[in-house]
Structure 1
Amino acid sequence: MGLINNNKMPLTFNSRDEHNQRINNALQRLMALTLVPGGWDDDAVNEQLKPFLLKIDELAALPTAAFVSFIARYKVDPDNLELLADALVNLSQKAGYEVLAGHAVGVYEHIQQSGDVFSLTVAGKLKALRS
């Protein structure tokens, strides 16, 4: 069972909360993995991306707009989207995955455009990536 709600039925409040908690748990593990200098390999990252039905090489091959559209369909809350973008920034530090920084920019922009509240933290992260 993946983290993504592939059925067409809307999520109820409780199931939406559980859905976002499962996503948060997976993203926390991914962040922890990427924070260890030289401590991750593609297989370890792929294990954490399994719930999202992605592998790191597939993620890197996706155009940014397609990735953002893919993620937006699953109603991930803004905090988890920010955590995902943060993980993408960390993953982009490895040779061959620099494109993931662009994906992070796309996710941060999506957060700012679709959110009810403007986030100074996200704006700062966008500014840092664009410099």
Structure 2
Amino acid sequence: MPLSLGLRDEENERINNQLKKLISLVFVPDGWSDTTADEDLSQIGLSLGKLKGITPDELNNHLKDTGLDWANIELFADFMAELSQKQEFENLKPKAVSLYSFIQMGSKMFSFDITSKIARLKQ
């Protein structure tokens, strides 16, 4: 049964808050913990291990199937881009680029901000 508009908004807001928490973990060196990140990622059916092993196309489809809106998918790509700065997560960089490209094509809206994020990651 599809979610009503109100429930969908609440779900998107909950996911948005989880993604913001993940992003803050990456920015605060003392706050990073694989366990904490896995707990937050489990809210959208992922873990750090799954994130490392999943293909870019599978990740794109998984996030879309989870019901994330384009803004939340962009937040998730931002999280992955920041996390890819850590040596053990360098393989997430192409996945973040793929997500940004997926957003550009799927949302049918061009964003200079996303284009600049892609260019930064490809350097």
TM-score, normalization: structure 2? 0.92
Cα deviation per residue 1:72-94 (whole Å; 9 max; x = unaligned)? 11231111111100000111122
Q: 2:16 is aligned with what amino acid?
A: N
- Partner residue, 1:36: 28
Distance (whole Å) between structure 1 residues aligned to residue 109 and residue 43 of structure 2: 28
Q: Distance in 2 between matches of 1:62 and 1:38?
A: 27
Of 48, 51, 61, the residue aligned with 1:59 is: 51
1:38 to partner: Cα distance = 5.3
Displacement of 1:37: 2.8
Partners of 1:117 and 1:64 lie apart in 2 by: 21
SS in 2 for 1:11: coil
Which consecutive residues of structure 1, in runs of 5 or more, have no partner in the other structure?
A: 1-8
Which contiguous aligned blocks of 4+ residues in structure 1 show a shift greater than 6 angstroms? none
How is 1:1-131 mapped onto 2 (pairs within 5 angstroms)?
Answer: 9-37=1-29, 39-131=31-123
1:42, 1:96 → 2: CA distance?
A: 12
How big is the alpha-carbon RMSD for the aligned residues of Structure 1 and Structure 2? 1.3
State how far apart, in whole Å, the 1-side matches of 2:15 and 2:92 are.
Answer: 19
- Greater share of helix: 2
Deviation at 1:59, TM superposition (A): 0.9
